[in-house]
A and B are shown apart, each in its own frame.
Chain A
Amino acid sequence: MIELKNMSVNLGIFSAVRGVDLVIKPGDRIGVVGESGCGKSMLALSIMGMVPDALSTVGSLIVDGQELIDAPESTWTAHRARTMSMIFQEPMAALNPLRRIGDIVAEPLLVHDGLGKSAARARVIDLFTEVGIPQPELRLRQYPHELSGGQRQRVLIALALACNPRLLIADEPTTALDANVALRITDLLVELAQERNMALLFISHDLGAVSRATRDILVMYGGDIVERGTTQQVLQEPAHPYTQGLIAARPQISQTATRRKRLPTIAGSVPALINLPKGCRFSGRCPRELAKCASTRPRAVTTDQGSTVMCHLFEGGTAQ
């Protein structure tokens, strides 16, 4: 359905996303994890054709057999909402504050599907019911500022689903919500993806949410996919030193409450785009760095457990 081949998002000579290969099929549930600034959101925006003007997308991005990498805005407009749709991090700011939520969700139905007003209204009520908004008839007339964060995120999901997209990209959908609500939104996304046989690209730095929501996972660092595999495999037996660091840095209730041990962190922070190392982008922060890491970009190799890792430690076949 959607295929990315050696796709990069460049800012001048620098890459925010570097040579990504990715195939998304109906029903896939793919998680994308990594620190802020690792290229997760840029990857998502490139699949929507919404990369900021200053950046350019190169390589190949094929949707239903059609190459879209240099496609004009009008081609993308025709695909958005119908082929792929996206929800964003801040449900507070992502809804037009001047419109009633019923009108917000009805708009794509009126514009894209050519529904009449009453048909659109009935469809909006169905969508609200589907995403778990109670008393949909009453809610239609409310404004975004009259809803809670969780309800707003449900409205955004209803909006994204209105024209039955085949891929839903959720960019940190739960980050701005409290833990309990976040859990329910995560489960809702999984249910919706399963019921509709819709692909889900779930971007998050919350590993718990990703492990709950997805079957496959991409670990991104500095624009590279440094490790990929099934979610279970990668999270249980992380191969790449970055993935290991990411998992070790997860706060756990038992740990903090009983032993008050310092949370392990990955040393340093993600370098700015212009300062990324030439070779492995994790070099400089990596605890198991080799001499060639800073200068030579590692190849992606498949481990015995079936994950694919981009790391010099694995180029002999297994971890050294």
Chain B
Amino acid sequence: MGYFLFRRTVGLFLTLFAVSIVVFASMNVLPGDPAITILGIESTEDARAVLREQLGLDEPVLGQYFAWIFNALQGDFGVSYSYGVPVSELIGERIPMTLSLAFSGMALTTTLALFLGISAASYHKKPGDWGVMLLSQLGIAIPAFWLSMLLVLLFAVKLRWLPPGGFPGWDEPLSAMRSLILPTVALALVQSAVLARVTRSSALEVIRLDFVRTARASGFSKSRVLWRHVLPNALIPIVTIVGLQFAALVSGTIVIENVFYLPGLGRLIFQSISNRDLFTVQALVMMFAIIVVLANFLVDIAYVLIDPRLKGRSN
């Protein structure tokens, strides 16, 4: 296990290094002068030169890269051009918002999906199964932004149960949670529709295995057999999809935060791109990439925790 962890951690850092090169390259080496992008084509050459010097763009590319990495490791991502404050400050303020949304979305996704998927598997080829499959087909077909608008129309505009958008901050936990409900549901419904299908088919694979028959012969209730014996053995494909979905969920926050006016990273990246705010976009893209790579790293570790047979093989 120790060696396995070490190998995966080395892999994690190599991946992050590669990601940083790709992010930096796509922002800097690709054709187009960032100074023109920022100032517009009608700007004077003098103004552009001043800006390039300000941003350090007149330095050699390799030097720029290392300066970026070196500063980033110390938490310095440069100063945002459009906000005039350090990028790290912008990100720091918004991280709690986005992470709350991503984690609550993930929690709702997995809870819903496991419950629906396992129920569907236990009612295989019966109405309960068809119902879940039909609902999940619907869930997959509905785009998240459209679902968001429907939710706002129903629960905020018509019924007035929940706020239509905005986020008061965690200083007021109760109203913060209230304003997270609709965005969380909008994020999770679509994802859980996919995950429920994976859970169902994975559970159906396991249900016909011999040890499930042993568990039944041991006099355990149907739900105990399903949740304690079938589910753990069905987890490997489920965890794989959860890892991929976490990435989709984090990028999904870009849309959801814009629909619900939530001050998070998703909304920030959207605004920074509109404002041609080079350093902020660079830092945010790197940020999202790190989250995705970390999620996959955790999935790899989860495999070994789930299945003891993989432990021997991975060493």
Q: Which residues of A contact B (CB under 8 A)?
A: 48, 50, 73-74, 77-82, 85-86, 88, 90, 93-98, 107-108, 111-112, 143, 145, 156, 159-160, 162-163
B217 touches A93 (CB 8 A): no
A98/B214 contact (C-beta < 8 A), A77-B220, A78-B219, A145-B309 known: no
> Which B residues touch A163, using CB under 8 A?
219
The reply to whether A80 and B210 contact each other, CB–CB distance below 8 Å, is no
Contacts of A143 in B (CB 8 A): 308-309
A-B contact pairs, 25 of them (CB 8 A): A77-B219, A78-B219, A79-B219, A80-B216, A81-B217, A85-B217, A88-B210, A88-B214, A88-B217, A93-B210, A93-B211, A97-B211, A97-B233, A97-B308, A98-B233, A98-B308, A108-B218, A108-B219, A108-B220, A111-B220, A112-B219, A145-B308, A159-B218, A160-B217, A163-B219
Closest chain A residue, CB of each to CB of B228 = A107
> What CA separation (Å) do A94 and B211 show in the bound complex?
4
Residues of A within 8 A of B222 (CB): 73
Shortest beta-carbon distance from A51 to chain B in Å: 12
B232 touches A98 (CB 8 A): yes
A49 to chain B, nearest CB (A): 9
- Chain A contacts for B229, CB-based, 8 A: 96
Among A74, A95, A107: residue with most chain B CB under 10 A: A107
Residues of B within 8 A of A86 (CB): 217
Residue of A74, A78, A81 touching B218 (CB-CB under 8 A):
A81
B213, B218, B306, B309 — which one has the most chain A CB atoms within 10 A of its CB? B218
Q: Is the CB of A82 within 8 A of B219?
A: yes
- Shortest B3–chain A CB gap in Å is 19
Q: B209 within 8 Å of A by Cβ? A: yes
Contact A98 B306 (CB under 8 A): yes
Determine the main DSSP class of B at the interface with A: helix
User: Chain B: how many interface residues by the 8 Å CB criterion?
Assistant: 21
A50 contacts B308, C-beta separation under 8 Å: no
Which residues of chain B have a CB within 8 Å of any CB of chain A? 209-211, 213-222, 224, 229, 232-233, 306-309
Residue among A79, A85, A98, A160 with max Cβ neighbours from chain B (10 Å): A98
CB proximity of B228 to chain A, nearest CB, Å: 8
Partner of B217, one of A50, A74, A90, A145: A50
Contact of A80 among B211, B219, B224 (CB under 8 A): B219
CA A72 to CA B218, docked complex, whole Å? 17
Give complex CA distance A85, B217 in Å. 6
Q: Which A residue's beta carbon lies closest to that of B224?
A: A111
Beyond contacts A88-B210, A97-B211: 7 other A-B pairs, Cβ-Cβ < 8 A, are A73-B222, A77-B220, A78-B219, A80-B217, A80-B218, A96-B214, A97-B309
Q: Which residue of B lies closest to A143 (CB)?
A: B308
Minimum CB–CB distance for B184 against chain A, Å: 31
A79 to B219, CA, bound (A): 7
Residues of B within 8 A of A78 (CB): 219
CB distance from B77 to the nearest CB of A (A): 43
Query: Which residue from chain A places its CB closest to the CB of B232 in the assembled complex?
Result: A98
Query: Which of A73, A74, A79, A94 contacts B213 (CB under 8 A)?
Result: A94
Choice from A77, A96, A145, A162 contacting B233 with Cβ under 8 Å: A96
Most buried by B among A73, A94, A145: A94
Complex Cα spacing A97 to B232, Å = 10
